[in-house]
Amino acid sequence: GEILCAVTTPTYDPDQVPDIEGDETGAYEGVYLNRFIQSTYIPGSIFKIVTLAAALEEFPDAQEMTFQCNSSLELDGGTITCESWHGEQSLEDAFENSCNCAFAQLALEIGPEKMAQYVEAFGITEPVTFDGIETAKGNYVSEGQQVDLGWSGVGQYEDLVNPCAFLPFVGAIANGGRGAEPYLVEQVSIGKNKTYTARTHLTQTLLSRDTAKTVAGFMRNNVQNKYGDDYFPGLTVCAKTGTAEVGGEKKPNAMLAGFATDSAYPLAFIVCVEDGGYGAQVCLPIASAVLEASISALESK
């Protein structure tokens, strides 16, 4: 639960405050916003972790399901599009391929009411409070036409997540179903006396141990067979990337969420890059650098 690293940009040097109000370059737009705590993002395909977990909780035979992807799926109200033609896939293949068609079908199978119930049970959209800080509230809407429900299961439509609030869910997958509540303050001392020392507080059970184990295995498969372990030397990492379409002429937001399974380095992480492009290309090098720094921080304690 301890937050070892939280970075938000743009920023500035408080010892040399620039003329932010007079700046015409846009370099300081949103400089006073802490994006880790105060922002919400369209999650894109990192939300497929949520839909996957919901399917595994709802259907005992979920891992036996197969999905057909012909690069598009016609539904009432519109079309779900996929970047590739994936053909017939298992559930694990669909997750590795980040197949929009398959995960739209999953959301439809689960249904709008159940999808909303699972999102609530997983705590994805609820604000998190710690050390006097409250994170932004996320959003999930499953009502509407079939195509809307389909896109909601993919991580689009009206889905919004706060980066910090998403981490306990990611941690719950790593930890057998219960996440760790975040904290910043490690200890408080008055003189030589420690008046407060933080300890880990676990959330309630968010998902079953079996579901957590299966989702972790699917995320591990992504790193081994799609992204590459070379990004994370010395670690055993499970992850899911996302490329979140934001509309207009903007590039997608690049997203990544995951965790390390090594007992010496129990690290969960999320990376969000506005207007960044593809999640794998942009976020994996960032996560690699941050995890390396986090390992150094843990080893120095």
Question: What would the two tokens of residue 23 be?
Answer: 């700046």
Surface-to-core class of residue 2, CB atoms within 10 Å of its CB (0-12 exposed, 13-18 middle, 19+ buried): middle
In angstroms, how far is CA 148 from the centroid of its own chain?
21
The pLDDT score that the predictor gives to residue 21 is 87
By C-alpha distance, which of 265, 133, 131, 132 is closest to 198? 131
Strand 187-190 and strand 193-197: pairing?
A: antiparallel
- On the CB side of 234, CA atoms within 13 Å amount to 12
Residues of the chain with pLDDT under 70: none
The pLDDT score that the predictor gives to residue 248 is 83
The pLDDT score that the predictor gives to residue 81 is 97
What does pTM read for this prediction?
0.94
Q: 85-94 — which CB contacts under 8 Å span 24+ positions?
A: 90/63, 90/65, 90/66, 91/52, 91/55, 91/62, 91/63, 91/65, 91/66, 91/67, 91/218, 92/63, 92/218, 92/221, 94/67, 94/69
The pLDDT score that the predictor gives to residue 236 is 97
The pLDDT score that the predictor gives to residue 18 is 87
The type of residue at 83 is E
